[in-house]
Amino acid sequence: ISYRDGDDFSVYSQADFLAAFGAIIGAVTIFLSAIAAVSLLVGGIGIMNIMFVSVTERTREIGLRKAIGAKRRDILAQFLIEAVTLSLLGGVIGILLGTGGAMAIGKLVENFSPVVAPGAVAMAVSFSMAVGLFFGLYPAWRASRLNPIEALRYE
């Protein structure tokens, strides 16, 4: 290269490669987080719909329970527990499928040993319960507000 000619080469340091890799990982993380958020929203709406159907199908039972002395909080607690149990069951099934899939990939790929962190499992269980609680709250509230006389006359 002559003194005043332009460079026909580039020099990259390891920090440059790490910065590019970090940017790629950040974009993938945002993309996967968006997919997870949409999945949680869809799952939560599914739980809400199931709980609305449950409240509708059990209107007479709710009326009977209220007629013999059940309080609003008892009905609310019953349906919230059902919603949380439903979402928790789905979360546990998801954790088992994810762990099984990771272990299967670990068997197929050399020099790859997946690790399922207990903190990640605890966070998944917590999120699952929170989704059930959040999306089950409105159907449970509607069930607790039913008038016992109208509920007994239902159907």
Of residues 113, 135, 150, 122, the one with CA closest to residue 54: 135
How many other CB atoms sit within 10 Å of the CB of residue 106? Answer: 14
**74 in Cβ contact with 104 (< 8 Å):** no
Q: What is the pLDDT of residues 54-101, one digit of tens each?
A: 999 999 999 999 999 999 999 999 999 999 999 999 999 999 999 999
For the segment 29-52, the average pLDDT, to the nearest whole number, is 94
For the segment 23-37, the average pLDDT, to the nearest whole number, is 94
For the segment 9-20, the average pLDDT, to the nearest whole number, is 88
Q: What is the pLDDT of residues 117-140, one digit of tens each?
A: 999 999 999 999 999 999 999 999
